[in-house]
Amino acid sequence: MSKIHFLPPLVLALFFGGLSSCNNNDSDKPKATDAAKVTVAQWGQEKYLIYLPFYIAQEKGFFKEEGLDITVKFSGNDDQVFASVLKGEAQFGIGDPVFTAISREKGAKGKVIASIVDGVTIWGVTNKASISSIGKPGDLAGLRVGTFPDPSTNFALMKETILKGGDTLKNTKIVQAPIGSQLALLENGSADIAMDLEPGTSIAESKGYRVVYSSPRFYGRFAFTGLTTTEDYINGNKDVVQKFVNAIEKALYYCHTDEVGTIALAATLFPKLDTAVVANAVKRMLLDKTIPDHAVMSDAAWQKALQVRVKIGDLKELKPTADAVDNSFAQRASASK
């Protein structure tokens, strides 16, 4: 039988007091900083391959490395995306960045802080044998062109092209259709050419449709998709903004230095698509340079986007790029690579 030893009260007090002191010290130690929770409003109602750099930043853990916890809010058309940011429903927006300029004319203080897509990542497909490759605006004469709804960039660009074409394009018509319904316009005979994103373009090609129009080649560098936020958010959260742009810069670098890895990751993001379709789509975006080399928004790309909106009446006047674009975060991110 074991013996029970009684400790003097003073010893017991010291013993348990010591334990209590240790526990208190442990609780007083600083805990690891929690990841900053960020909501991103994204154009459309699902994932789109053209936003691959954003998804790569998620899947490769670049946001996590920067200490960010990302939630995506699918927000519909371009104007709705930026409206979500202005209302505080999201801290960042991914969509047509020109709505920051439009909002500034109306008194709201939006800012573009990075480039996500640096070209009009839309291609025209057809099922009509009579339509050959379209190399100049005049080749659109008399055609019915299917686009996304107004005020999307797709609609705005085609409207601007038709207006600029004068009498040559006076019989060219725009046929608007909801996002995801472009091929239906060809199938039901409502349009001669349907403008679509990737992977829609490559899916159409795999079904026998022909790609006859390349917006990236028509328009060159163009501020098609940007990362947007508000001046108030920037002023109060510079560290979060920098971390977000850092992650995007890492993703862009990955896209341009590991094509095989980029295609493989894209295939996992869109498992219902044939891998050949995914590979073709990614290669097309890289070849037509819609995925930018860096997150910095170029002056040429931004001014070109503004000029289109001025011509069709969405903007009253052109303003310097710095009015609506803050490249400081992207420049720091690029310099750190």
Assess whether 225 and 324 both reside in one domain. Answer: yes
Work out whether the CA dihedral 151, 154, 157, 159 comes out positive or negative.
negative
Q: Is the pLDDT of residue 3 over 60?
A: no
Work out whether the CA dihedral 328, 332, 335, 337 comes out positive or negative.
negative
Question: What band does 8 get if pLDDT is binned at 50, 70 and 90?
Answer: very low
pLDDT number for residue 30: 37
Rounded Cα distance between 213 and 123, Å, is 5
Q: Is the pLDDT of residue 171 over 80?
A: yes
DSSP annotation of 44: B
- Of 199, 219, 239, the position where a domain reaches its end is 219
- Of 185, 219, 253, the position where a domain reaches its end is 219
Q: For 62-115, write each residue's pLDDT tens digit.
A: 999 999 999 999 988 778 898 899 999 999 999 999 999 999 999 999 999 999
Q: For 18-47, write each residue's pLDDT tens digit.
A: 433 444 444 443 344 588 999 999 988 889
Assess whether 129 and 214 both reside in one domain. Answer: yes
pLDDT number for residue 285: 96
pTM, entire model: 0.83
Please give the distance of CA 124 from its chain centroid, rounded to a whole number: 21
Rounded Cα distance between 14 and 90, Å, is 54
- Unique residue bearing structure tokens 């050419």: 193
Q: For 114-157, write each residue's pLDDT tens digit.
A: 999 999 999 999 999 999 899 999 999 999 999 999 988 889 99
Number of domains composing the chain: 2
pLDDT number for residue 25: 46
Assess whether 54 and 100 both reside in one domain. Answer: yes
Mean pLDDT of the chain, nearest integer: 89
Q: For 155-170, write each residue's pLDDT tens digit.
A: 999 999 999 999 999 9
Q: Could you tell me if residue 19 is inside a domain?
A: no
Assess whether 138 and 236 both reside in one domain. Answer: no
| Residue span of the structural domain in which 159 resides | 123-219
**β-strand pairing of 36-42 with 68-74:** parallel
Q: For 214-244, write each residue's pLDDT tens digit.
A: 999 988 999 999 999 999 999 999 999 999 9
